[in-house]
Structure 1
Amino acid sequence: MPAVSLPARRATERSDPGPPPAAVRAAFALWVTAVAAGAFETALMVGRAPADGIGAGLAVRLAVFTAAVLVALRMRRGAGWARITLAVGLGVLGTASLVVGPLGYLLDGGSLSDALARTDAVEWVFGASRTVHLAAVLTAVVLMFRPAANRYFRRSA
């Protein structure tokens, strides 16, 4: 029986891009920060929401948070598809979902000064968390496309 030679590497395997550069490591940490902030915001909302109807919203958020961390792990390992998924899915669509409520309020004639005057302590904490959340997402997106990050993702392709 003739010997069958196996290819040195399967076509589906990627080359080892080496350790991630600082920009990619920082982006990963910021994605985890954004997920943590989102989980904290969810906990604050659950504490104020009526008991009925919470289950479905929690299930969706848990799925999104889990997927975000798993995709961020793949991004840290050099998966280009993960970088694009995070940038579009959370960077664009996720950010839009975070700002649509406040923008809608203002576009409907709501006043920022009135909203601030009615804000209680929990809403201030929520707002601070949302600020950290947005800053983490936007900064992570920028870091994932820095020159060192681009070289890293090219090496893994």
Structure 2
Amino acid sequence: MDTVTVSRETAAPPPVVHAAALLWMAAVAFGAFEAVLMITRLLLEGTATLVELLPQAGFRLAVLAGAIFLALRLRRGHNWARWTLAATLGVFGTLSLVMEPIQWLLDGGSVTGAMAGLDAWGWAFALSRTLHVLAVLGAVVLMFQPRANAYYASA
């Protein structure tokens, strides 16, 4: 009887890797939602034009597309995708999501004061940003669990 070897790319990833990839996709969805909220609000308020927002929107679209590409490669067992996601979006992406609120708190802002001043747009954005950060942190933790490490080591 012939033995058939199954490549890492066709084998199902362990649950932790599958969950990590799903969390990256969730983070992408939250990031897209936040971008739509921000752009829509700026356009409705008249504080920016579509032409002014296009470079930022294009950059965000590129980052989101890159994240999707990397999450799919992560799920297929590409260790380089795991490390790229961890370094770029896990570290620098998370910093970009939390730097402004942290700086605001360091400058004397209060969480209760901020919450009291939120409208529906602000609540939607805050909830999405919180879930976005939690998805990224969860994905990074799962990517480096022992079963995930074994999956990538089997390459």
TM interval, shorter chain, is 0.7 to 0.9
Give me the whole-angstrom Cα distance separating, in 1, the residues matched to 2:90 and 2:22.
15
Tell me which structure has the larger Cα radius of gyration.
Answer: 1
1:44 partner amino acid: L
Give me the whole-angstrom Cα distance separating, in 2, the residues matched to 1:138 and 1:107.
22
Task: Name the counterpart of 1:29.
Answer: 22
Give me the whole-angstrom Cα distance separating, in 1, the residues matched to 2:70 and 2:35.
21
| 4+ runs deviating over 3 angstroms | none
Give me the whole-angstrom Cα distance separating, in 2, the residues matched to 1:16 and 1:155.
10
Task: Name the counterpart of 2:112.
Answer: 113
Percent identity among equivalent residues?
51
Give me the whole-angstrom Cα distance separating, in 1, the residues matched to 2:40 and 2:12.
41
Which blocks of at least 5 consecutive residues in structure 1 are unaligned?
1-14
Give me the whole-angstrom Cα distance separating, in 2, the residues matched to 1:111 and 1:131.
17
Give me the whole-angstrom Cα distance separating, in 1, the residues matched to 2:148 and 2:23.
15
* Larger proportion of helix: 2
Which residues in structure 2 correspond to 1:79-90 (within 5 Å)?
Answer: 79-90=78-89
Task: Name the counterpart of 1:6.
Answer: none
Give me the whole-angstrom Cα distance separating, in 2, the residues matched to 1:67 and 1:118.
35
Task: Name the counterpart of 1:76.
Answer: 75
Deviations 1:99-130 (A, max 9, x none): 00101111122222221121111100111111
Count residues in correspondence.
142
Give me the whole-angstrom Cα distance separating, in 2, the residues matched to 1:77 and 1:112.
41
Give me the whole-angstrom Cα distance separating, in 2, the residues matched to 1:147 and 1:112.
37
1:16 partner amino acid: S
Q: What CA RMSD, in Å, does the superposition of the two structures yield over aligned residues?
A: 1.2
1:126 partner amino acid: F
2:12 partner amino acid: P
Moved more, 114-123 or 36-45: 114-123
Which residues in structure 2 correspond to 1:38-117 (within 5 Å)?
Answer: 38-49=31-42, 50-51=48-49, 52-117=51-116
Question: 1:62 deviation in Å?
Answer: 0.2
Which blocks of at least 5 consecutive residues in structure 2 are unaligned?
1-5, 43-47
